[in-house]
Amino acid sequence: MLKDKTALVTGSTSGIGLGIAHGLAAQGANVILHGFGDPAAMDRLKDEFAERYGVRVRYDGADMRWPEAIEAMMAGALAEFGCIDLLINNAGVQHVAPVDEFPVEQWDAILAINLTAVFHTTRLALPAMKSRGFGRIVNIASAHALVASPYKSAYVAAKHGVAGLTKSVALEVAEAGITVNAVAPGYVRTPLIDAQIPDTAKARGISVEAVVRDVLLAVQPTKKFVTVEQVAALTCFLCSDDAASITGAVLPVDGGWTAH
């Protein structure tokens, strides 16, 4: 159980991040929700968590492209809760295009949100974790942290970077009661995946149906999408005391994709 622990889950207003936030709150953790959303909808989401799980809930809409926004989010969370015990770096964006046609602004945004933001949240969460002698950092990477696909140069570069950052930080804090791991999901049917299917179809010159059948699920031997609940379950386990000896790992949840 994670009672009296506080979790920050970036990108947690939908998809994988929302599933992880539900999983942690169900185990008693206070939750800091993060992401873009209508203010009224975010108030309803906060109320839902508080009423359903009996935990304290905070929301922040920081734009993860900007270090000053991340610093403000972290400062507010630390002021309210004293420590972020469980840091789940999940926020991410994607763009699909050939590298010689890849928009520079998309490259910059993907690297900033998917990789550089992980550095900023980590560096700002660690002092309080060290002072308490406990911390769990779980970076939601991707199977693309381990293998590549065409037309996803920025995303693959960022996720490979997340894998390297995970390992490096894990070694630095190994004696401080802090673990740092990455979860590497295969294709999960989330809004992020749905948004890239038309772009992939355009880049490859094939139909949307063919993208799902011949591109996405073709690489997963199970021929099934990974579920949000499966990713959340592993993430919650990595936050537990039972996972205290797992650190510096990049753990696939990918239907066998990276076993090829």
Cβ atoms of 9 and 24 closer than 8 Å: yes
41 contacts: CB under 8 Å, gap ≥ 6? none
- Ordered alpha helix ranges (H), the chain: 15-26, 39-53, 67-81, 104-111, 117-132, 153-172, 191-204, 208-210, 228-238
Tokens 């949307």 belong to which residue? 208
Tokens found for residue 154? 């920025």
Give ∠ CA 19-56-92 in degrees, rounded to 5: 35
Cα R_g (the chain), whole angstroms: 18
Catalytic residues: 155
Distance CA 222, CA 140 (A): 21
Residue 141: what are its φ and ψ, rounded to 5°? -90, -120
Cβ atoms of 8 and 17 closer than 8 Å: no
